[in-house]
Structure 1
Amino acid sequence: MACCPDGKSYRRLNAIHLLLIGVGFDLVLRNCGRGERCLRLWITRFNAQGIDGLTYRPRPGRPRKLAAATVESEILPLVDDPGLAGQLHWTAVKLSGWLKQEKPFDISYRTLVRYLHEHRYARRIPRPMPEPPDKDKWTQQREACATELAALLADPAARVFFGDEAGFEGDPRPRHKWVKRGSRPTQGYYGGHLRRNVVGAVEPASGEFVSLIVAHCNTEVFQAFLDVMAEEVPPEEGKQIHLVLDNAGWHKSARLDWHHIKPVYLSPYSPDFNPIERLWQHVKGQSMAGFLTNDGEALTDKLLDSLKNLLDDSKLVRSVCALPSFNRK
């Protein structure tokens, strides 16, 4: 009764419970507020099907063409790797047509798209990434890096920050927007090269965020950021502060004073291991989207407001920078 999906099921099971503990039929009938025919029907269903006879309600609509397990075993592997079907690229139309011809699945385009959405698939434009010259060596380095990061994040004596730089322009890339059908939306631009850079570090576990707006990036600028971070994240007894970085030249300069921070370097071609990348994309897609200026001060002020909002909302930072299990492939 405590696990009933709704009040109707609870009322039915309560009536059966009263009958089972010896309450008279007439008293149960008055308690449940239903007619004699209805109560006898509940008893018949309970005797024939047990609890399910009183709590299960069939879902409305047509039955599914494919079970969820079939979708997971037969369709999703093809979406992840088109090469299994001798293809290089899928669209939903192309995949639904291929399934009708090659598999005993008579599912429409709309049904296929609904199944993909149910399994958290969405259309995304892949981020261009240069192919490593030696893929086998790259795979080994990537696996070793994933293992090191997983161990570091599981260490209770370690605080792990992820750092990187990002550029923000006065002529931002146009973003999706809602417009009336038939209209031709436009976005102005100045055609200049106004740009501000941000050096930052984030701790996904706590949402703590440290950043510095700069004109460019080099060893001196990165040293200034390390000085700021050393003040913002002071040493803690029994804790080692780690800063995970890519392999930019100014991150590895021998002239750097790391204070109490220990650097950790990602394997080459592994920007997906750095969650601060998603934070930069969030700022560009949310706070800075549609902001157009040819004034350097205005760009700096807008960027400063955007970063302050992140500093005041650690819950948002944790959500954007949440660490999934590292993909070692």
Structure 2
Amino acid sequence: MAVGITRTDLSASDLRREAARVKDARATRRMFALAHVLDGRSRTEAAQSCGMDRQTLRDWVHRYNAEGLAGLVDRPLPGRPPRLSAEQMRELAVIVETGPDPSTDKVVRWRRIDLCDVVEQRFGIRVAERTMSAILHRLSFARLSVRPRHPQADGEAHKRYIKNFAELARAALPDEAQGKPLEIWFQDEARVGQQGTLTRVWARKGTRPRAPKDCRYAWAYIFGAVCPARRIGAALVMPYANTEAMNAHLAEISGQVSPGAHALLVLDGAGWHSSTDLIIPPNISLLPLPPYSPELNPVENLWQFLRQNTLANRVFDSYEAIVDVCCDAWNTLLAMPERVASITSRDWAQVSG
């Protein structure tokens, strides 16, 4: 016996209008089928026109009478219960983030198969590698490239530097710079040469893509500096990294500082940055970073961007070729000021007042 539609809050035209709004195609078909019934079409004709049989339509009529439009949407399936409890997931997250101990775990980085073994040993639960991939995804982990960290790096010193940057900046400014507009610049050097770098490329699964790698020893140094607030930079390509090259770079930066402004140049503790022979222009003051803290210098991120997108996978025939490519790479980057700002801007590198 056919079940009638007992709800009267929506007409056939109302159901069609609601069907046009929903993104669930299956719910749309169900609304159209009910609209056909309200139009007086037979149950068989209404069901077949929307790709279902009479019994299925009868079931959806029951759901619609009881729940309205919400009853026409598929309920989420309960699925298989998770293999690991919430507490076990939290413990696994700590294990992954802490990393392996080479002396006990016998590996220097976690692989999925290693974590499967850890879960079996800790919790007595054996999971497949694909399941481990899904677990890591739910825990917001991904395979990322690592940055080198000096073993003598002082994490607490880095935090103090960031927290007290404004005070350190004011202390580094001479009296004649007081009251002038202040520009924050960052400076660093990168060596580019025939002993180049390789970067990741898209390739078919199961293949081992190849890229050129030179084994010769010619190189040049990019002396680069950026002002994130103004989205500009100043660079020189030099044959050596020494005080003479640094003096030339300081002169180049000085010429890019806004007239009447003073630049605070943040840089690392390389020997040529603190040499007694360094000639510091009057519109520049130097502020050194804490020792062993390249992660605080956003120019390091510029070098990474250039190596991954412009400088990697190349063979240079000569020193002159290296210089040309370095100049082209830097100029191409500066032609994208929004990219320069997005890579080098740091919220903590601000001086107010």
Same fold, TM-score > 0.5, yes or no: yes
Q: Which residue of 1 aligns with 2:160?
A: 144
In the alignment, the residues of structure 1 paired with residue 220 and residue 85 of structure 2 have an alpha-carbon distance, to the nearest angstrom, of: 48
Structure 2 counterpart of 1:197, from 201, 208, 221: 221
CA contact (8 A) 1:65 1:107 kept: no
Partner of 2:327: 304
The 1-side partners of 2:120 and 2:347 are apart by 35
Give the drift of 1:265. 1.7
- Please give the alpha-carbon distance, in whole angstroms, between the structure 1 residues aligned to 2:166 and 2:74: 44
**Which amino acid in 2 is paired with 1:143?**
K
Contact 1:71 1:115 in 2 (8 A): no
Residue 18 (structure 1) aligns with: none
The residue type paired with residue 216 of structure 1 is Y
Q: How many Å separate the matches in 1 of 2:196 and 2:163?
A: 37
> Does the 8 Å contact 2:243/2:272 carry over to 1?
yes
User: CA 1:276 to 1:232, structure 2 compared with 1: closer, same or farther past 3 Å?
Assistant: same
For the structure 1 residues 213 and 48, does the alpha-carbon distance in structure 2 shift closer, same or farther, using more than 3 Å as the test? Answer: farther
Structure 1 residues 121 and 7, CA gap change in structure 2 (3 angstroms): closer
Residues 47/103 of structure 1: CA separation in 2 closer, same or farther (3 Å cut): farther
Computing the radius of gyration from Cα coordinates, the structure with the larger value is 2
1:176-325 equivalences under 5 Å are 176-177=200-201, 178=203, 185=210, 187=212, 189=214, 191=216, 193-204=217-228, 207-235=231-259, 241-254=263-276, 255-321=278-344, 323=346
CA 1:173/1:140 → structure 2, altered by over 3 Å: closer, same or farther?
Answer: closer
Q: Given the superposition, is the C-alpha separation of residues 183 and 121 from structure 1 closer, same or farther in structure 2, using an over 3 Å criterion?
A: closer
> Structure 2 vs 1, CA of residues 190 and 268 (structure 1 numbering), >3 Å: closer, same or farther?
closer
2:342, 2:334 → 1: CA distance? Answer: 14
What SS class does the counterpart of residue 300 from structure 1 fall into?
helix
- 5+ residue gaps, structure 1, are 16-24
Are the structure 2 counterparts of residues 41 and 173 from structure 1 closer, same or farther at C-alpha, using a change threshold of 3 Å? same
Equivalent residue, structure 1, for 2:142 = 121
- The one-letter code of the counterpart of 1:77 is V
Answer yes or no: is the 8 Å Cα contact 1:161–1:203 preserved in 2: yes
Change (3 A) 1:221 1:144: same
Q: Is 1:77 equivalent to 2:97 in the alignment?
A: no
Contact 1:196 1:216 in 2 (8 A): yes
Change beyond 3 A, Cα 1:9–1:83: same
Identity %: 25
Q: Is the 8 A contact 2:188 2:299 kept in 1?
A: yes
Contact kept? 1:161, 1:243, Cα under 8 Å: yes
CA displacement at 1:216 relative to structure 2 = 1.3
Cα distance change, pair 149–51 in 1 and its aligned pair in 2 (3 A): farther
The answer to whether the 8 Å contact 1:116/1:122 transfers is: no
Instruction: Rate the CA distance shift 1:243–1:40 in 2: closer, same or farther, 3 A.
Output: farther
Q: 1:291 to 1:144 in 2, by over 3 A?
A: same
Deviates more, 1:245-254 or 1:85-94: 85-94
- Which residue of 162, 168, 188 maps to 2:186? 162
1:318 offset after TM fit, Å? 3.5
In 1, distance between residues paired with 2:199 and 2:185?
Answer: 30
Inter-CA distance 107–194: structure 2 relative to 1 (3 Å threshold): same
**Secondary structure in structure 2 of the residue aligned to 1:80:** helix
Does the CA-based 8 Å contact 1:190-1:294 persist in structure 2? no
1:111 aligns with 2:128: no
Deviations 1:211-259 (A, max 9, x none): 221111222322221222222231466xx64322111122223543243
Distance 1:40 1:182 in 2: 54
Cα separation, partners in 2 of 1:40 and 1:182, compared to 1, 3 Å? closer
| Aligned residue in 2 for 1:101 | 121
Superposed displacement of residue 64, structure 1? 6.7
Query: Per the alignment, do residues 55 and 190 of structure 1 end up closer, same or farther by CA in structure 2, a change over 3 Å counting?
Result: same
Distance in 2, Cα, partners of 1:279 & 1:230: 21
Matched residues in 1 for 2:64 and 2:96: separation?
Answer: 45
Amino acid at match of 1:65: P
Q: For each residue in 1:262-321, what CA deviation from the matched residue of structure 2 results, as whole angstroms up to 9, or x when unmatched?
A: 322211111111121121122122212222123122221111111111011123333444
Q: How far did residue 123 of structure 1 move? A: 4.8
Letter in 1 for 2:268: D
Contact kept? 1:164, 1:277, Cα under 8 Å: yes
Residues 53, 117 of structure 1: alpha-carbon distance in 2 compared, 3 angstrom cutoff: same
